[in-house]
Amino acid sequence: MINEQQVTDILKTVQDPFLHKNLIDTGGLRELKIKEGLVSLKIALAKQDKVKQMQIQVEISSKLKKGGADFVGMRFSVLAEDEIKALGGIPEAGPTLLSPESKTAFISVASGKGGVGKSTVSVNLALALARKGRKVGLLDADIYGFSVPDMMGIEQRPQVENDRIIPVDRLGVHVISMGFFVENNSPVIWRGPMLGKMLNNFFNDVKWGELDYLILDLPPGTGDIAMDVHSRLPHSKEIIVTTPHPTAAFVAARAGAMAEKTEHEILGIIENMAYFKSRKTGEVEYVFGKGGGDRLSDLLHTELLGRLPLGQPEGKNGEFAPGVYFEGDPIAEEYGHIAEKVIRKIEGIH
């Protein structure tokens, strides 16, 4: 069973997200009770921020349970102004992706509805750009349907260093997902303002480094949540994912209209599941019909960046990443062609 000293030692590894100091040094541990495997804490932070509190709660709870706690209960309060002043005050934030000097290009991947492979496209486009020598970040902004960690085989959580979240580096891409901050795959029940704060934290509090591209996997559809996330994003290029079926393309057109309404530039269309090609015979079948991507690109006056076949990624020895097409796979080659078009359109390289 965990004891008070062990709890204190663990809290020395958790930083106040505003003061850059651990919770023991800040005097943030207000109450500590241990009874029959239940650790009950009251923690004071420098500011009241529900999103930050959630992040701290997940970090503390995870570490305490690894240390032997069966259950963890937590309440939050705020440090007094004189306490904050005695600790040197709240430091000014360093440069972020939203800073005026940032040269990062934002590429949002959207769809008119779920089930068209938007997250698969986000993951594999990010990897394809990284293979072209670009520095790439991937932000899983699909708040309620986060799947990037599972697709890429990510099991560890981000670390915190000097109040900045360090993205998980996986296959040459820096990854942040809502899934990292939810314990035991719990459902997310947030609405408007908290979603906005979470996205701001992803941009401002993550130490992305110098990125050429940040790929954003957006929520599917054109409802309130998708619109809210769109409106809170910085100006970005947008890729719309559809399938060849005419109805899917019709629905995807609404996603294009939403992109324009929120002042995001449409970079192009990707037609996913465009056909099935047998690896044994080479025979091609158009399982979901033809032409949806062409119709959508004509309707939105943009380019069809590529057609991707329907296929299951083949595994790679020593790597568990069930949603990744590794180099050597013909579908990975198709993503490479799409990445070249994206680079040419954004960087003007021919």
Q: Is residue 92 part of a domain?
A: no
CATH number at residue 19: 3.30.300.130
Instruction: In whole angstroms, give the CA distance from residue 244 to residue 52.
Output: 42
Same domain, 74 and 110: no
Where residue 45 falls among pLDDT bands split at 50, 70, 90?
very high
Domain total of the chain: 2
What are the tens digits of pLDDT across the range 285-327? 999 888 888 988 988 889 999 999 998 888 888 889 999 999 9
280 pLDDT band, cuts 50/70/90, is confident
Please indicate, yes or no, whether residues 81 and 143 belong to a single structural domain of this protein. Answer: no
> 187 lies in a domain?
yes
Long-range contacts (CB closer than 8 Å, 24 or more residues apart) made by 152-157: 152/123, 152/321, 152/323, 152/324, 153/319, 153/320, 153/321, 153/322, 153/324, 157/59, 157/62
What confidence score (pLDDT) does residue 235 get?
74
Closest CA to 48 of 90, 98, 95: 90
- Residue 162: pLDDT over 80: no
- At 187 the pLDDT is 56
The answer to whether position 200 is within a domain reads yes
Q: Which domain holds residue 291?
A: 105-347
86, 113, 134 — which closes off a domain? 86
- Contact in structure between 332 and 128 (CB atoms under 8 Å): yes
69 and 192 together in one domain: no
Instruction: Note the pLDDT tens digit of each residue in 84-104.
Output: 999 988 877 666 777 767 788
Position 63 confidence tier, pLDDT thresholds 50, 70, 90 = very high
CATH number at residue 207: 3.40.50.300
**Per the structure block, which two tokens stand in for 52?**
């930050």
Residues 47 and 186 in one domain: no
- Check whether residue 196 and residue 121 sit in a common domain: yes
Which residue type is seen at 193? P
Within-domain flag for 94: no
What confidence score (pLDDT) does residue 111 get? 85
Q: How far apart are CA 199 and CA 51, in angstroms?
A: 10
pLDDT of residue 186 exceeding 90: no
Q: Are residues 285 and 170 in the same domain?
A: yes
Percent of the chain past pLDDT 90, that is, above it, reads 48
Q: What percent of the chain has pLDDT over 70?
A: 89
- 189 has pLDDT over 60: no
7, two tokens: 């709890």
Q: How far apart (Å, rounded) are the C-alpha atoms in residues 54 and 336?
A: 38
Confirm whether 25 is domain-assigned.
yes
Same domain, 209 and 126: yes
Domain assignment of residue 100, yes or no: no
| Shared domain check, 113 and 66 | no
Is position 126 within any domain? yes
The answer to whether residue 131 is domain-embedded is yes
Last residue within a domain, chosen from 86, 114, 137: 86
23, 54, 86: which is the final residue of a domain?
Answer: 86
- 181 is written with which tokens? 């901050």
Q: Are residues 80 and 121 in the same domain?
A: no
296, 334: one domain: yes
At a CB cut-off of 8 Å and minimum separation 6, what does 116 contact? 220, 241, 242, 243, 248, 252, 272, 273
Tell me: do 249 and 131 sit in the same domain: yes
Secondary structure (3-state) at 116: coil
Judgement on whether residues 146 and 231 belong to the same structural domain of the protein: yes
